[in-house]
Amino acid sequence: MRPTYLRTRFLLVLLPLLSLLACDPSVTEVEATSIEVAPLYLSFDGTSEATLSVTANGSWTLTSDASWLKVSQSSGRGGSSTVRVTVDRSGLPAQQHAGRLKLSGSGRSVTVHVSMRFPHVTGTVVDPTDEIKPGSLPRADALQGASPSVSEAMPPDVVPGEYLVLLDDGMALALEASASGPVPLGARPHLTTLRAMGAGVARDHGLRLASDVLSSGLPVVKVHATEAEVERLRADGRVALVEPNRRWLLPQVEAVNAAHDFGLQWHYDHIDLGSAWALTQGDPDVVVAVIDGGFATRHPDLSANLLPGYHFERDDPDPEALDACVEHGTHVAGTVAATLNAAFGVSGAAPGVKVLPLSVGYETLDGATLVCALDSYAVISAVEYAAGESVAGLPPIAPVDVINMSLGGYGTNTTFEMAVRRAIDAGVSVVAAAGNDGFTNVVSIPAAFDGVVAVAATDSQGKRASYSNAGKAVDIAAPGGDKANGVLSLGWDLAQDEGTWLRMAGTSMATPHVSAVVALMRSMNPELDPASVTAILHASARDLGAPGRDDLYGWGMLDAGKAVEYARNSLGVTYRDVVVRLSQGGTLVAEAHAGVTGRFDLGPVPAGTYLLEAGTDLDGNGQISDPGERYASTTVAVAYAGDLAQDLQLSLR
């Protein structure tokens, strides 16, 4: 009995002591040998607050190497904790900054990389007098106002399990920084850094990269992922955006073999091409990039006007594709710049310019039908390359004058829109087909993107083609033909392996008429920017339908003669003449010229209340608010809650 009695008394004494020790904060917990933190990368893109989830098997400490980087607790104990991370920008220069957080235990530490920037002030300058015209009508979302039946009938198609991941370039700059502190203004991360970051994102999330980084200006990678993995990607500070890799089918239009004679190209009479040719048939220094499924580059009526191109779907320097993709691209390129010669008779609308053939298609089955499919990653790659970026290891070229895209789909595609915007900002006019589904309030992308010239189609009688989409984004109409009388251009006979001539109908056929005329305009006046080109197309169009602009024809039928004449005589103010300023208490904080479509970005600025002004300085005296100048101003409040967008409407003072 005695041993049992002693054990009982011992336990009665020991248990209260253990309880006291457990409650005593002076007792040190064993340092953690395992620490897990999520996310490992934090991006504060104009914002100020985020959280970290910490799981450890013991005590840990948390330190920051940047005075502006604050945490809600500097240490923790075993188990799970949530740490609030905030940014204090007081006294910092308004630019990109890099910092690091370090969690430490026993022989174990974890680093969290932090990228922080000040909010940007952005917007668009608009001139309601139309003396300076914007690059396009106000943006119309591809499905805005569409009936449910339209949305259900045309769901956005995607490549199963493939996603486009836009890397955060601010985080890349932070990773390049050797220590915490400000990053040089205007810096662009090195491609090697972006590649390493993309590989790290894939490795950390257990994903397989399906592409290299697209370009340093648009750092997109393609990955294979599940929906659950995509959600984790979106929480990663190295990732700015994740969206599906879209898939589109080239428009399936009936091709009819036809006699080849210039006199049979009735569609050129509809746009008064002869008057344009009296001024120019095109300058060989002017380049139209045709982004399409594929091309018969050996066609005798086309080869002399082709520059060395690329096949972005196959990653091949030879853009030729003698498969289901060949007819569409060859026909479109032929309408732009088939050579004018007596031997074959058919001509492009701008036979003196050059075509850069950029193939993006691949042959696949749609049910039992062999079709040409396009993935958005390949199309985006082609747009970037045509805009002067180094893509797929290719050396960069000078930006082309015009991009023709007789292709498209429905839904949203942010990375595609970013690529198109970058091309327009580089001075490239982008022309795209409105779509062939006969919708009255839906325009396909990229035609619906801001700044793109959206082309509707007319039939052989000069009326709206029954298949042509209509909507608020439509800029202009051009001949697309109909089943009875299609547009005559080039084709390729796969069975005979020889060039042929085809009639095809669609907005795909209307679009290269506009691209060719834009090339003629640029031949007459190389200084034209995309906004000026669009303004001239609007002003010179022959009105169709309801008086003035309407959703069926835009501003009317393309008039090549007037457009080229207006281009020759075009002198005046462009959006690049507009100065945008941000000031506070009479002190200038930021200044920039508007871009070719009126867009501006004044860069990072501290939180506060500012005067935002835009105006011309035609007399060169440094004042943008003089009488006789175009001017606009407003007060804006910048907060650390992200970027601020504010448009300005100019008026004559």
pLDDT in tens, 318-375: 999 999 999 999 999 999 999 986 555 789 999 999 999 999 999 998 888 889 999 9
Query: How large a percentage of the chain has pLDDT more than 90?
Result: 75
Q: What is the pLDDT of residues 139-194, one digit of tens each?
A: 223 333 333 233 333 455 889 999 999 999 999 999 988 677 788 777 789 999 99
Distance CA 200, CA 146 (A): 41
Instruction: Please state, as a whole number, how many other Cβ atoms lie within 10 Å of the Cβ of residue 96.
Output: 23
Q: Which two tokens stand for residue 186?
A: 């205007």
> Is pLDDT of 18 > 60?
no
pLDDT reported for residue 135: 31
List, for residues 475-496, the tens digit of each pLDDT value: 999 999 998 899 999 999 999 9
Q: What is the pLDDT of residue 263?
A: 73
Which 3 state secondary structure label does DSSP give 404?
Answer: strand
C-alpha 501/C-alpha 260 separation (Å) is 6
For residue 372, give the nearest of 508, 475, 464 by alpha carbon: 508
pLDDT at residue 147, rounded to an integer? 31
Cα 356 off chain centre by: 20
| Pairing assessment for the beta strands 287-292 and 354-359 based on DSSP bridges | parallel
* H-run or E-run covering 551: none
pLDDT recorded at residue 303: 94
Is the CB of residue 54 less than 8 Å from the CB of residue 36? yes
Look at residue 613 and give its three-state secondary structure. strand
Report the alpha-carbon distance of residue 248 to residue 254 in Å, rounded: 18
CA distances from 10 to 15, 16, 22 (A): 9, 11, 18
Give the residue range(s) of CATH 3.40.50.200 domains in the chain. Answer: 257-569
Known catalytic residue at 328: yes
The architecture of the domain spanning 120-129+574-652 is Sandwich (2.60)
Could you read off the pLDDT of 580-621 as tens digits, one per residue? Answer: 999 999 999 999 999 878 889 998 999 999 999 999 888 888
Residues 38-54: pLDDT tens digits? 999 999 999 999 999 99
What confidence category does residue 253 fall into, taking pLDDT thresholds of 50, 70 and 90?
Answer: low
DSSP string, 407-445: --BSS--HHHHHHHHHHHHTT-EEEEE--SS--SS---B
- 345 — alpha (psi -120 to 50), left (phi > 0) or beta? left
Q: Could you give the angle at the alpha carbon of 491 between the alpha carbons of 486 and 497, nearest 5°?
A: 150
Would you state the pLDDT for residue 571?
Answer: 61
64, 429, 444, 508: the active-site residue: 508
Q: Which of 5-14, 70-79, 499-508 has the lowest mean pLDDT?
A: 5-14
Annotated active-site residue in 97, 260, 328, 513: 328
Q: Is 120 a residue of the active site?
A: no
Measured between alpha carbons, how far is 473 from 63 in angstroms, rounded to an integer?
A: 53
Work out the burial of residue 574: count CB atoms within 10 Å of its CB; fewer than 13 is exposed, 13-18 middle, 19 or more buried.
buried
Q: How many residues comprise the chain?
A: 653
Query: Is there a cis peptide before residue 184, judged by omega within 30 degrees of 0?
Result: no
Q: How far is CA 140 from CA 143, 354, 452, 554, 556, in A?
A: 8, 32, 11, 13, 19
Higher pLDDT, 71 or 2: 71
Q: Does the annotation mark 347 as catalytic? A: no
Q: What pLDDT score does 367 carry?
A: 84
Distance between CA atoms of 95 and 338, rounded to whole angstroms?
50
Closest-CA residue to 615 (of 565, 568, 650): 650
Of the candidates 292, 301, 375, 551, the residue annotated as catalytic is: 292
- The pLDDT of residue 20 is 45
Q: Which two tokens stand for residue 198?
A: 């993309």
The residue type of 438 is: G
81 within 8 A of 105, measured Cβ to Cβ: no
39 in Cβ contact with 74 (< 8 Å): no
Per-residue HEC secondary structure of 278-314 comes to CCCCCCCCCEEEEEECCECCCCCCCHHHECCCEECCC
Cβ atoms of 348 and 339 within 8 Å: the answer is yes
How confident is the model at residue 597, as a pLDDT? 80
Q: What is the 3-state secondary structure (H, E, C) of 164-231?
A: EEEECHHHHHHHHCCCCEECCCCCCCCHHHHHHHHHHHHHHCCCEECCCCCCCCCCEEEEECCHHHHH
307-318 mean pLDDT: 96
User: Per residue in 366-382, pLDDT tens?
Assistant: 888 889 999 999 999 99
pLDDT score at 134: 36
The region of weakest confidence among 134-143, 206-215, 523-532, 583-592 is: 134-143
Q: CATH code for 257-569?
A: 3.40.50.200
Distance of alpha carbon 481 from alpha carbon 461, whole angstroms: 8
Determine contact, residues 447/455, Cβ cutoff 8 Å: yes
Of residues 400, 455, 424, the one with CA closest to residue 529: 424
Contact by Cβ (8 Å): 435, 455: no
pLDDT tens by residue, 389-443: 999 889 999 999 999 999 999 988 999 999 999 999 999 999 999 999 999 999 9
What is the sign, positive or negative, of the torsion defined by CA atoms of 582, 585, 586, 587? Answer: negative
Domain with CATH 2.60.40.1120 in the chain: 120-129+574-652
Q: How many CB atoms lie within 10 A of CB 511?
A: 31
